[in-house]
A = this chain, B = another copy of it.
Amino acid sequence: MNKAEILVIDDEPQIRKLLEIILESNDYKVWQAETGKEGLIMAANHPPELILLDIGLPDRSGHEILKDLRTWYNKSIIILSVQNSEEDIVRALDTGATDYLTKPFRTNELLARIRSCIRKNNTDDSKSIFIFDELQIDFLSRIVKKNETILKLTSTEYNLLGLFARNEGRVLTHQFILKEIWGVGYQTETQYLRVFVGTLRKKIEDNPNDPKHIITESGVGYRFN
């Protein structure tokens, strides 16, 4: 449970299959999109931890997809490409690519770069373990403990708690949270959020009726302590 999710956007079925095998055997959950358009929709509906993007897509140039993604998606995007031209690399990196690998890539290098990117996503403070009193969140192993007992969280619950933890002390608006966890297009579904905050509180709070960690800021959003 709580596998990190990776979205692969590539038009070649063999590459997708290869990546699926590699990634799943390394304990990632893999989503696949065949076209840039499909990829954009999937990313928006379900923001992954990392995106592997083929720059040579048939429908729109991968560069355009990258630009589109970067208008709202702020986690890592690794570019895969048969192109090895300096111009292409510079362009991709300047559009916001996190990394650029040329095909054929080396499996272990790809995995190491993925690990590095995911680490970066989660360590805005270069920390991988967050401790809030009796609560302990380990972003590397994706394990949450309360008083040394491992909590069973669904992946949405985990993502939500992670977002809260990385923004400790800050009021997060409903819209922001919905966008980050469910994707653009879900910004009005505040009831989702209420339900999930409810289940999270039941799991992490000593007294869910008088929460100490997830504080309601009525009319605005929530704040995590």
Q: Using a CB–CB distance below 8 Å, which chain A residues touch chain B?
A: 74, 86-87, 89-90, 93-94, 96-99, 106, 108-109, 111-113, 115-116, 119-120, 123-126, 140-143, 154-155, 169-171, 217-220, 223
Contacts and interface: CB of A to CB of B under 8 A. Distances in A.
Given A141-B171, A143-B170, A170-B142, A94 B74 contact: no
A143 B155 contact: no
B109 A86 contact: yes
A9 to B, nearest CB: 20
A97 B116 contact: yes
A115 B94 contact: yes
Given A126-B74, A171-B142, A93 B115 contact: yes
A-B pairs with lowest CB-CB distance, top 5: A74-B126, A142-B171, A93-B112, A90-B112, A155-B219
A120 B99 CA distance: 12
A23 to B, nearest CB: 16
A90 B74 contact: no
